[in-house]
Structure 1
Amino acid sequence: MNALANSTTRRATACDRRCHQDTQIEVEPFAVDMIAAASRLYEARRDKDWSLTDCLSFLVMEQRRVPRALTTDHHFRQVGFEAVLLGDPPAAG
């Protein structure tokens, strides 16, 4: 067995597979222009403790007009999104 294929890796891979198969989940493909934009945001906001993945998520959510993230990551609140798992109240309307 591959040394890198520990139980966490297997669970993550299984979750990824289920997400790609679920018709109610849309998996955003990586696009060169979005990665470049995320990299620029990441570079511009050195004052924040954001990851490049955070920045990419912010841009995709903004582009798709997705107001809520199923996350406990407080960085999403810093950008103005609702971090559902942090206990934000449901958005009105």
Structure 2
Amino acid sequence: MSAEVDESWTRLADYVAGIVAGHIRENPPVATPWLAPDDAAAYLRLTVRGLEDMRAKGTGPRFHKVNARVVRYHRDDLDAWLLSDGGARG
């Protein structure tokens, strides 16, 4: 590649980076304490299947059903479960 082409790509990359940075500044991501089962399992260092089994048996951390197919875990509930006897047995 020639120096002119390299400079063009660098200018384009800087321009795009500026647009993205401005968008993030104006619309910062909102961290949510609500985790999907796969994220909750990773947080607890468990398998998704293990978390599902505990949910079915009523032995795992507290969870919330958003609807018939969507389950969410609150990070505070996961921490509380980890600190409880349930977390030691899980």
TM superposition score category, shorter chain reference: under 0.3
More strand by share: 2
Looking at CA atoms only, which structure, 1 or 2, has the larger radius of gyration?
Answer: 2
- TM-score, normalized by length of structure 1? 0.21
- TM-score, normalized by length of structure 2? 0.22
More helix by share: 2
